[in-house]
Amino acid sequence: MSTPDATQPAPSTGPRGSATATAEPDVLLDVRGLKVHFPIKKGVIVDRTVGHVYAVDGVDLQIRRGETYGLVGESGCGKSTLGRAILRLEELTEGSVLFEGTDLASLKGEELRRQRRHMQMVFQDPLGSLDPRQTVEQLLLEGMRAHGLTKDGDARERLGQLLQEVGLPRTALSKYPHEFSGGQRQRVGIARALSVNPSLIVADEPVSALDVSVQAQVINLLADLQEELGLTYLIIAHDLAVVRHISDRVGVMYLGALVEEADADDLYQEPLHPYTRALLSAVPVPDPTVEDTREQILLVGDLPSPANPPAGCRFHTRCPWRQETRCDTERPQLRTVEINGVPASHRVACHWAEQIASGELRRHAVKPQDVTDPTLTEHDVDTALGAKGTAFPGVVDGA
Ligand SMILES: Nc1ncnc2c1ncn2[C@@H]1O[C@H](COP(=O)(O)OP(=O)(O)OP(=O)(O)O)[C@@H](O)[C@H]1O
Ligand code: SF4
Ligand SMILES: [Mg+2]
């Protein structure tokens, strides 16, 4: 498929469907050159493809066994699509997803279904993801039956164990989803994911629909379960505080690609990408002295549409460090940097990360740019994108 930018990095692996690459021993999930492009269709009688939404556009991501990887980014940057594509709930346009060395893109039908047992999803809205006509018992047994896990006749014992693991009473089994509070429903959602003994859980905004007081309980539950069961997590969240608290490593996404990735503490202590710096600068600090003096970076200009991403660095239309050369012509790749004290595990997709960190390059004013695509009407894009907002708590879009 054609891409909007001839300077994009080439996918790191061969053509889709090749199952030849091998993952490192402690890597459970190895994503290479992943792209998910949604066609934008137009036409009354015959549907024509008039463009694409480049929801995920070249992501390399490795998740190690037993770790928690936090994924953050503005609304619409492609986090959920990436999570769904990893579980093959979304068709891949390009790239590979190796799970324990098996390329999921090469699996179909029964093989894919069997593989799915090892990878489960926890959703933001448990009520929307749980069938309201089924009791908790039916909900939990459904997945277990589908994967032949109820054959030994010890299903009742397993159900009891699952409820205990997520902190619900046994009486919950005969209840329906609407009879629970939000936090309890999320516990049911987690129990359902656990019912088939997965190794990887992709949790898409697992606490953002919950009251703040309940959020911590669910986060702690996820952490306890990880320790007990040796689970690996990909946690998607827009709340930087949630991600920091729970993650070993954090990836920051912008318009379909990762712009920075590091151990959680490294990322929060020394963000290197201008976008990450802007995100973190908007998070209030409890210490009033630090709060009064900390750097604040207000992002200017609209978030470009994923149907028309800017050429070169995707962030160049809003970047306060943008340079005359390279920024708008050459797409930066995620790379290690040569900065004192910054470990190789800290990678950033910015041509000028070293010069920005040293202070050699200074911040400048940003002139808002028109980021609409002249070949697509607003209606074409809205129809393809649905009615999604782009707000990201903590980021101020100045005028
Ligand atoms: N099935 C689809 N068809 C067309 N466009 C889609 C489809 N699914 C997602 N998109 C678009 O792809 C882009 C990425 O969407 P996605 O839901 O992955 O973003 P997100 O980062 O999870 O956002 P949020 O934080 O709001 O959940 C958005 O512009 C969205 O409108
Ligand atoms: S490559 Fe250029 S535009 Fe992109 S983040 Fe770095 S300085 Fe900004
Ligand atoms: Mg989402």
Q: Give me ligand 2 centre to Cα 321, in Å.
A: 6
CA distances from 367 to 97, 220, 398 (A): 39, 44, 11
Q: Give me ligand 1 centre to Cα 76, in Å.
A: 5
User: Which of 216, 156, 225, 218 minimizes the C-alpha distance to 186?
Assistant: 218
CA distances from 376 to 41, 42, 350, 370 (A): 11, 10, 29, 14
- Does ligand 2 have an atom closer than 6 angstroms to the CB of 274? yes
Which residue's CA is minimally distant from atom 31 of ligand 1? 385
Provide the pLDDT for residue 303.
87
Locate 225 and state its tokens. Answer: 């379960």
Count of CB atoms within 10 A of residue 289's CB? 8
Locate 282 and state its tokens. Answer: 């908007």
- Does ligand 2 have an atom closer than 6 angstroms to the CB of 323? yes
- Does ligand 2 have an atom closer than 6 angstroms to the CB of 332? yes
For 47-76, give the DSSP string: -EEEEEEEEEEEEEEEEETT-EEEEE--TT
Phi, psi of 79 (to 5 degrees): -60, -50
Q: Is 27 exposed, middle or buried (0-12, 13-18, 19+ CB in 10 A)?
A: middle
Beta carbons of 252 and 264 less than 8 angstroms apart: no
Q: Give me ligand 1 centre to Cα 53, in Å.
A: 9
> How big is the CA angle at 212 (ends 74 and 222), to the nearest 5 degrees?
80
User: Which of 49, 22, 6, 9 minimizes the C-alpha distance to 257?
Assistant: 9
Where along the chain do its domains lie? 274-358
Query: Is the model's pLDDT at 392 over the cut of 50?
Result: no
State whether residue 127 is helix, strand or coil.
Answer: helix
What gap in Å lies between CA 322 and CA 311, rounded to an integer?
13
Phi, psi of 358 (to 5 degrees): -80, -15
Q: What is the SS3 string spanning 137-191?
A: HHHHHHHHHHCCCCCCCCHHHHHHHHHHHHCCCHHHHHCCHHHCCHHHHHHHHHH
**Which ligand 2 atom is at minimum distance from the Cα of 314?**
4
Q: Give me ligand 3 centre to Cα 73, in Å.
A: 10
Q: Give me ligand 2 centre to Cα 141, in Å.
A: 50
Q: Give me ligand 3 centre to Cα 289, in Å.
A: 35
Locate 189 and state its tokens. Answer: 């959602």
- Does ligand 1 have an atom closer than 6 angstroms to the CB of 38? yes
Q: Give me ligand 3 centre to Cα 373, in Å.
A: 24
Q: Ligand 1: which of 36, 59, 80 to mutate, most ligand atoms within 8 Å of CB?
A: 80
How confident is residue 174, by pLDDT bands cut at 50, 70 and 90?
Answer: very high
How confident is residue 228, by pLDDT bands cut at 50, 70 and 90?
Answer: very high
- Does ligand 1 have an atom closer than 6 angstroms to the CB of 83? no
The pLDDT tens digits of the residues spanning 344-355 come to 999 999 999 999
**Which ligand 1 atom is at minimum distance from the Cα of 40?**
4
Q: Which of 155-164, 203-212, 285-294 has the lowest mean pLDDT?
A: 285-294
Query: Is the model's pLDDT at 133 over the cut of 50?
Result: yes
- Does ligand 1 have an atom closer than 6 angstroms to the CB of 386? yes
HSE of 380, CA atoms in CB hemisphere, 13 A: 24
Provide the pLDDT for residue 7.
41
Q: Give me ligand 1 centre to Cα 72, in Å.
A: 14
Above pLDDT 90, what percent of the chain? 65
Provide the pLDDT for residue 25.
58
- Does ligand 1 have an atom closer than 6 angstroms to the CB of 310? no
- Does ligand 2 have an atom closer than 6 angstroms to the CB of 189? no
Strand partners, 203: 122, 235
Strands (E), the chain: 27-42, 48-64, 68-72, 94-99, 102-103, 119-122, 200-204, 232-236, 249-254, 257-263, 299-300, 335-336, 347-348, 397-398
- Does ligand 2 have an atom closer than 6 angstroms to the CB of 254? no
